Chain A
Amino acid sequence: MANDKTVLLVEDSPSLARVYLEYLRTEQYRMLHASGGEQAIAMIREHPVEAVLLDLVLPDMDGMEIMKWIQQEARPISVVIITAHGSIGRAVEAMRLGVYDFLEKPFSRERLIVTLRNALDRVSLVKIVGDMERTDFEGFTGASLVMQSIYRIIDSAAPSKASVFITGESGTGKEVCAQAIHNRSPRSAGPFVAINCAAIPKDLVESEIFGHVKGAFTGALQSRDGAAKRADGGTLFLDELGEMNLDLQAKLLRFIQTGAFGPVGSNALEEVDVRFIAATNRNPLELVRSGLLREDLYYRLHVIPVHLPPLRERGNDVMLIADRFLQTFSREEGRAFRGFNPEARAVLLDYDWPGNVRQLQNVVHNIVVLNDGDEVIPAMLPPPLAVSGPAPPAMPIDESVVEQERPILPLWQVEMEAIERAIRQCDESIPRAADLLGVSPSTLYRKRQAWKDKGLL
């Protein structure tokens, strides 16, 4: 049976390397061999190495330097030192640095196989334990398996400068994800600049991103740096990329390709060092097909894709997050809530959460503001949950009356009415209405535009 573990042998003697590789042939690991330190580090960077068999005396560097580098990088790798007879002192010193075990040459095939198996088992255990411990990760709350894989992708993507393309429904945490990648990157000391292309009037997006010079357009009384300049040395996060017009997408593509851009109204180019993260709540390939996103820009940005799962696919994360919000809002609002009762928990877990974490946040905030008590009960839940929840009604309802009183409308119409009502109640403020509806403002802009295009609004 093929083995999916990758093992790196660092040994400068070709004859010994041959012997050790033969010893391990039956184990069917993915074996890599480096005959020097620089080559070893390059291989660890390029391959998912889980164990290293490390000779300490190498032609270009001391093997201990490789061990220190692995420690500094905090890579989940078990290192087994293979040391010459009489070098035990150094092996013990290496154990203090976190080396898993050592083998004194010459050693038997059996000893090598057992030691390596144990070393690989330890890596698996460390990974499992490490994953289970991660219920909080750079602004995310969630212990579900699907979120553990997101944390791992963020960890792997962060050190590189490669562009990241985040997809996910509204409210799944795309900006939190972008910020997490920035925080864990070597650019974390630099700025993180986020631009929501849907929240800025289309005419101003270019100036927001690239800045403008004095007099570039009516009202440009002063020169102003854009997000591109402000993100120099850091990360530029472009949310709702599909909302950007195609001409501007072409300018963005040139900027990504060259690292240089011209502010609005200027012919001079400015160079910056920026990492790009883009996001959309729609399928980016659909955006390309429908002509809203340039294909070349899509491929330029879509180097590392991250798809954030909707809350309904995150199992018990709903309760982890709800409990966390309940604590926070209770503290802020001076309430005594300590948790949700089992019935209320069942309702929260049963609900679909179309607005994801943002909707959950609003629901819990609503509960805390309008109620008080030791624990949250189903009666405290606001409408979408109160209706769908399993809590029995206090009085029997004559269903025929309900049917007569509520004619069935097409879903889009119900949605449109709910959105328009919310906007009216918020004095025409789309961001406030979006906040209360548990969706992002861009979702409302997009839906309203679509209805307007069809003559429905």
Chain B
Amino acid sequence: MTNALLDDRVIEQLVADTGPSVLPDLLSAFVEEMAELAPRLADALDHDDYLAVARDIHSLKSSSGTFGALALRGLAEGMDSAYKQGELDSALELGVELHLRIRETIAALQARYPLRVS
């Protein structure tokens, strides 16, 4: 099933490629990474640290694609493109939305997939 937040086919492929027993570990690593990234990104945006923002967005673009986080990937690509074209206002708007989507994506993953018990 595919909804706006997650592409289940990507996660199914991840299971096929790595094995079901590994999935909780992989998804947990992704969730932890996003949980760390959200406040760091907010801080970088607050301080107009565009280099740090660009680096995090670049990283998020790749990881969200690999874990089927469809909505996040769309936003990250939008921000990346806005930065590259110098549209800072537009990038900032997307940044606010991104923060929200990260929380929603984490919640969706926790609700639908087994994560590592830490």
B17–A57 CB distance below 8 A: no
B8 at the A interface (CB under 8 A): no
Q: Which of B26-50 contact A (CB under 8 A)?
A: 26, 29-30, 32-33
B13 at the A interface (CB under 8 A): yes
Q: A23 to chain B: which residues have CB within 8 Å?
A: 17-18
A106–B22 CB distance below 8 A: no
Q: B65 to chain A: which residues have CB within 8 Å?
A: 85, 105-106
Name 4 extra pairs, CB < 8 A, besides A23-B18, A59-B55, A85-B62.
A16-B66, A22-B19, A22-B26, A85-B61
7 smallest beta-carbon distances between A and B, as pairs:
A109-B17, A15-B29, A15-B30, A22-B18, A106-B66, A106-B65, A105-B62
A14–B58 CB distance below 8 A: no
Given A13-B62, A16-B63, are A106 and B10 neighbors across the interface (CB < 8 Å)? yes
Size class of the B contact interface (CB-based, 8 Å): 20 to 34
Compute how far the CA of A382 lies from the CA of B46 in the bound complex, rounded to whole angstroms: 89
A15–B33 CB distance below 8 A: yes
Closest approach, in angstroms, between the C-beta of A114 and any C-beta of chain B? 13
Q: B62 contacts which of A18, A84, A108 (Cβ < 8 Å)?
A: A84
Closest approach, in angstroms, between the C-beta of A335 and any C-beta of chain B? 70
Q: Which of A59-83 contact B (CB under 8 A)?
A: 59
B26–A15 CB distance below 8 A: yes
A12 at the B interface (CB under 8 A): yes
Compute how far the CA of A274 lies from the CA of B26 in the bound complex, rounded to whole angstroms: 51
Compute how far the CA of A338 lies from the CA of B59 in the bound complex, rounded to whole angstroms: 66
Q: A-facing mask of B67-87, CB < 8 A → 1, else 0?
A: 100000000010011000000
Given A84-B61, A106-B66, are A13 and B17 neighbors across the interface (CB < 8 Å)? no
A86–B77 CB distance below 8 A: yes
Q: B18 to chain A: which residues have CB within 8 Å?
A: 19, 22-23, 25, 109
Compute how far the CA of A105 lies from the CA of B58 in the bound complex, rounded to whole angstroms: 11
Q: A108 to chain B: which residues have CB within 8 Å?
A: 13, 17
Compute how far the CA of A12 lies from the CA of B65 in the bound complex, rounded to whole angstroms: 16
B14 at the A interface (CB under 8 A): yes
Q: A85 to chain B: which residues have CB within 8 Å?
A: 61-62, 65, 77
Q: Which of A8-52 contact B (CB under 8 A)?
A: 12-16, 18-19, 22-23, 25
Q: Which of B66, B77, B80 neighbours the largest number of chain A CB atoms within 10 Å of its CB?
A: B66
Compute how far the CA of A337 lies from the CA of B1 in the bound complex, rounded to whole angstroms: 83
Closest approach, in angstroms, between the C-beta of A111 and any C-beta of chain B? 10
Compute how far the CA of A57 lies from the CA of B56 in the bound complex, rounded to whole angstroms: 10
B12 at the A interface (CB under 8 A): no
B29–A18 CB distance below 8 A: yes
B97 at the A interface (CB under 8 A): no
B104 at the A interface (CB under 8 A): no
Q: B29 to chain A: which residues have CB within 8 Å?
A: 14-15, 18
Closest to B28 in A: A15
Q: B62 to chain A: which residues have CB within 8 Å?
A: 13, 16, 84-85, 105-106
Closest approach, in angstroms, between the C-beta of B39 and any C-beta of chain A? 17
A86–B66 CB distance below 8 A: no
Q: A105 to chain B: which residues have CB within 8 Å?
A: 62, 65-66
Q: B58 to chain A: which residues have CB within 8 Å?
A: 57, 84
Closest to B81 in A: A86
